[in-house]
Amino acid sequence: MQADGVSVWAIVVAYEAPDTVAACLAGLAAQTTPVDRVVVVDNGREASAIGGPTVEVVRPGANIGPAGGFALGLDRFLASDADFAWLMDDDIVPSADALGHLLAVLRDRPPGIAFPFVARAGSAPVRSLPAWAGVLLPRAVVSAVGVPDASLFFWVEDTEYLQWRIPRAGFAHYDAHAAVVHDHRIRREAHLPPWGYYYRARNTVHYRLRVQRGRRVHRVVVVLARLAIRAAREPERRAKLVMVGRGVSDGLRGRLGPTVLPPSQPAVEAARRPSTSEGS
């Protein structure tokens, strides 16, 4: 617990990135304002070697995506008595004073969420977009709006939660200029895989038409056109265009969930009840 009487849980969603997970956890352990607990939701297989006195590893038994991972982590947060949840992907490494600056931004202000500035590949830190890059959420916010929509699986789940649902509930967005995190962007690929095209198309259609109920509906056309043009220029063109079409169809029908899995992932229907291991 911090000197001012608040407690912070860090929630990290991990997927087969042992090197950056280790760097992320090292960054959390080095905070000048200590984290009380770290919850690692292991969507892959790398977290078996993770340990430590404040680290809890949760294994869903299948890849539930970032949407399911952060929903599961925040469910555990709500079941605790912690005051703040600090959310980040496994390739985010916070600077040592990041948490202290984020907490300072929220102190003595109306309830809201705090975003750090993000540095990539040695570039100067820039304002963070609503994403899982070290955003700090007070308990009051999570209690009021719930957890991310796990049925989105991948893509738009951060936008729906951080950029749509939380502001619509009346909570403010604060930028913590002095809080810096480093984004290693380990999953930035030259070519998007076919399953990625599916979720980008499906969740864009769902978000714009069903969540926002047609607000800025022209964005659907723009995003889908760009996706189709990109797919047509890449390898596996036919498979990717098929996935765009399938995503549009499922988005219009409201068919959500992990309907298309990344290669080598077990079927979600076979997932076990989440298991937990704690560092000694």
Q: What is the pLDDT of residue 150?
A: 97
pTM of model > 0.75: yes
Q: Are 47 and 169 members of one domain? A: yes
Q: What is the pLDDT of residue 213?
A: 86
Q: Are 179 and 230 members of one domain? A: no
Residue 170 pLDDT more than 50? yes
Residue 81 pLDDT more than 80? yes
Q: What is the pLDDT of residues 225-270, one digit of tens each?
A: 999 999 999 999 999 999 999 999 999 999 999 999 887 554 443 3
d(CA 40, CA 17): 12
pLDDT confidence band for 272 (50 / 70 / 90):
very low
Q: What is the pLDDT of residue 51?
A: 63
Structural domains in the chain (count): 2
Residue 5 pLDDT more than 90? no
Q: Are 118 and 152 members of one domain? A: yes
d(CA 15, CA 157): 17
Q: Are 90 and 198 members of one domain? A: no
CATH code, domain carrying 183: 3.90.550.10
DSSP 135: E
Q: Are 180 and 223 members of one domain? A: no
Q: Are 243 and 141 members of one domain? A: no
Q: Are 48 and 146 members of one domain? A: yes
93, two tokens: 């490494």
Buried b (16+ CB within 10 A) or exposed e, 216-233: eeeebeebbeebbeebee
Q: Are 67 and 142 members of one domain? A: yes
Classify residue 260: in a domain, yes or no. no
Q: Are 50 and 107 members of one domain? A: yes
Strands 84-89 and 8-14: parallel
**113 within 8 A of 98, measured Cβ to Cβ:** no
pLDDT confidence band for 278 (50 / 70 / 90):
very low
Classify residue 106: in a domain, yes or no. yes
Q: What is the pLDDT of residues 13-51, one digit of tens each?
A: 998 877 788 899 999 999 999 999 999 999 886 555 566
- Residue 279 burial (CB count, 10 A): 12
pLDDT confidence band for 101 (50 / 70 / 90):
very high
Q: Mean pLDDT score of the chain, rounded to an integer?
A: 89
d(CA 17, CA 258): 21
68, two tokens: 């399911």
Residue 209 pLDDT more than 90? yes
What is the extent of the structural domain holding 107? Answer: 8-187+272-278
Q: Are 152 and 82 members of one domain? A: yes
